[in-house]
Amino acid sequence: MVRRVAIIGAGVGGLASVKCCLDEGLEPTCFERSEDIGGLWRYTDSMDGGRVSVYRSVITNTSKEMSCFSDFPCPEDFPCFLPHSRLLEYFRMYAQHFDLLQHIRFKTTALSVRKRPDFATSGQWEVVTETDGVQESHIFDAVMVCTGHYQEPYLPLASFPGIDTRFKGQYLHSREYKDEEAFRGKRVLVVGIGNTGGDLSVELSRVAAKVFLSTRGSTWVFSRVSDHGFPFDMVSTTRFNHFLDWLLPSALTKRIRFWKFNSWFNHMNYGLASTKSSNFKIIINEELPFCLLSGTVVLKPNVKEFTESSAVFEDGTTEENIDVVLFATGYIFSFPFLEESVRSLFDDSRSLYKRIFPPQLEKPTLAIIGLVQLTGSVMVGAEMQARWVTGIFAGWNKLPPASRMMADVLKKKPPVKRNPSERENLKMSFISYTDEIASCAGVKPSVLRLLLTDPRLALAIFFGPCTPYQYRLVGRGKWSGARDAILTQWQRTLKPLRTRVVDDSSDSSSGWQWMCLLALPVALTAGFLLSKYPQLGWSPWAG
């Protein structure tokens, strides 16, 4: 019987895990090595003992309505996309509202997590921690690891001959970057074009003499601001769009997606991507296209080698007088506190059942929370994981036999191991994954059932943004405010923009309502067929 739960890390996953433990009547103790909550999102000017934090100018890539905890909406006066300071403020509000801080032990480092000698029968763990130089041993019935995937910087120097032998300039990983001042007037080469590489290139272009951005593959760029000025994720991440992705051939959906990206600007003209690309990544950046257009950022192919002061690229070109090389090459995760026999059970999150549980353990009392990269907010995914896991610990949910879990892992794990910094390895569809875990936890809403009992809510759920409140409508943890939160989500989105009211007598909502009514017969027909003939495949209507 699980009662006492150790939680390692007080970032977003740790806070959600503490709260979910309390909801299930468990006794959580969270160990946080720093002096405050927030994890990655708590900005500090210094490295703070090697702790990874965001850079000064960072703003969330997912909107507040798509990123908040499922039973605690962001304040309506908060902007749609949050600077790190506002997001940390929201975390503090959440922790205070649910009285979480009393369960967190700050400035306490987890040194080791080891199975007890009788683990095969008890499932218990021995956790050794250190606070102010004093070590302490604890016994817990279960452990939730909430340290995320931004842990150790991935710095592949061997892939860039000469960088650490001939190059006389400075090189560093993006983890060390805080703001642009140290780069003023310098010629900077940024290696890697993920979200971080794009952000830093744009920021540095304002103060650096020149910025070069090196990338190996194709990259599609899109904006957080969608058509008509709405947040992109609220417009695109809907159950209706998810249904279309399932219904249409993958080649067609890919062409539609490329067409949509190119409708903003032609990526081939900018040297970013081609519609013929088979391997590509997608990043969010509103300013990068203009920086490329204005020449303040110059796109380059992969670096072949470095000389004393220059970078030689694979296309044969050379850029001279490079002062600084900034590697935005991502992170690798590690769990040094876990005993080797446990660490060896999984080399990445794909070796975990549902990206959470090591399936080979004799007892399912170890859960890895937040080690998944979604096409939407990882905060929502981490909370859903924590809800399911604590339900298992409390005895409400059950895991299948180890053989079935292993078969599921092998079925979903790609055969080719790719570069460890490529977080595409971990990326999954936000709705698919969250729905999958919600189904396991018994909290996935049934659109068909709601269509019969609450049509207005059903339409908002199916055609509107898939906000986390949807997972509080039914099952354990049901929240009485979920329905109202869904129906008022657009009001909270637009509220912070209403600082100057412009008179407009037109009814902006009528178009959306007509679209829903026109699409409803198609959706109902498809839903009926899929419900009646489940062998046809996935059904968005199932609860």
Average pLDDT score, the chain = 91
Q: Taking 80 as the threshold, does the pLDDT of residue 471 lie above it?
A: yes
Query: Which pTM does this prediction carry?
Result: 0.91
pLDDT in tens, 129-160: 999 999 999 999 999 999 988 889 999 999 99
**Residue span of the structural domain in which 275 resides:** 174-223+264-329
Same domain, 324 and 352: no
Tokens of 4: 């006492």
143 strand-pairing partners:
6, 366
Give the end of a domain, one of 329, 362, 380.
Answer: 329
CATH code at position 186: 3.50.50.60
- 161, part of any domain: no
* pLDDT tens readout for residues 491-531: 999 999 999 988 876 554 555 555 555 555 655 555 554 55
Average of per-residue pLDDT across 56-60:
96
In this structure, are 314 and 344 located in the same domain? no
Neighbours of 237 (CB within 10 A): 24
**Sign of the CA dihedral running 22, 27, 374, 231:** positive
Give the pairing of strands 331-332 and 324-327: unpaired
Question: Within a domain: residue 140?
Answer: yes
β-sheet bridge partners, residue 127? 113, 138
Token pair for residue 387?
Answer: 């809800």
DSSP 66-100: HHSBTTBPPPTTS-SS-BHHHHHHHHHHHHHHTT-
Choice among 58-67, 216-225, 523-532 with the minimum mean pLDDT: 523-532
Kindly state whether residues 207 and 189 are assigned to the same domain.
Answer: yes
In a domain, 500, yes or no: no
Question: Domain check: are 141 and 192 in the same one?
Answer: no
Give pLDDT, residue 423: 47
Choose one of 329, 354, 386: the last residue of a domain: 329
One domain, residues 397 and 361: yes
pLDDT at 489 over 70: yes
Same domain, 218 and 83: no
Say what the pLDDT of residue 539 is.
Answer: 47
Q: What is the pLDDT averaged over residues 332-358?
A: 90
Strands 318-319 vs 170-173: parallel, antiparallel or unpaired: unpaired
Could you tell me if residue 163 is inside a domain?
no
pLDDT, position 150: 86
pLDDT digits (tens, 9 = 90+) for 355-370: 999 999 999 999 999 9
Q: Say if residue 89 is in the same domain as residue 211.
A: no
- The three-class DSSP label of residue 268 is coil
Q: How many CB atoms lie within 10 A of CB 517?
A: 10
In a domain, 471, yes or no: yes
**Residue 449 within a domain:** yes
Count other Cβ atoms within 10 Å, centred on residue 75: 14
The rounded percent of the chain whose pLDDT value lies above 90 is 82
pLDDT of residue 427: 76
Residue 416 has pLDDT above 90, yes or no: no
More confident residue, 47 or 95: 95
Helices marked H in 306-454: 340-343, 378-393, 402-412, 430-441, 447-453
Residue 526's pLDDT is 54
Whether 76 and 130 map to the same domain: the answer is: yes
Q: Is 29 helix (H, G, I), strand (E, B) or coil?
A: strand
The reply to whether 186 and 300 lie within a common domain is yes
Same domain, 366 and 489: yes
* Beta-sheet pairing, 280-284 with 297-300: unpaired
Is 236 a domain residue? no
Specify if 376 maps to a domain: yes
The whole-number pLDDT of residue 504 equals 72
Residues 290 and 409 in one domain: no
Using DSSP, how many helices (H) and how many strands (E) does the chain show?
18, 22
What per-residue confidence (pLDDT) applies to 149? 83
Last residue of a domain, one of 459, 476, 495: 495
Q: Is the pLDDT of residue 6 over 90?
A: yes
User: Which pLDDT value is given to residue 505?
Assistant: 63
HEC readout, 292-347: HHHCCEEEECCEEEECCCCEEECCCCEECCCCEEEECCCEECCCCCECHHHHCCCC
Same domain? For 132 and 3 the reply is yes
For the stretch 384-402, pLDDT in tens is 999 999 999 999 999 999 9
Question: Is it the case that residue 333 has pLDDT exceeding 90?
Answer: no
Task: Write down the pLDDT at residue 516.
Answer: 59
Residue 127 confidence (pLDDT): 98
As for how many domains the chain has, the answer is 2
- pLDDT over 70 percentage in the chain: 90
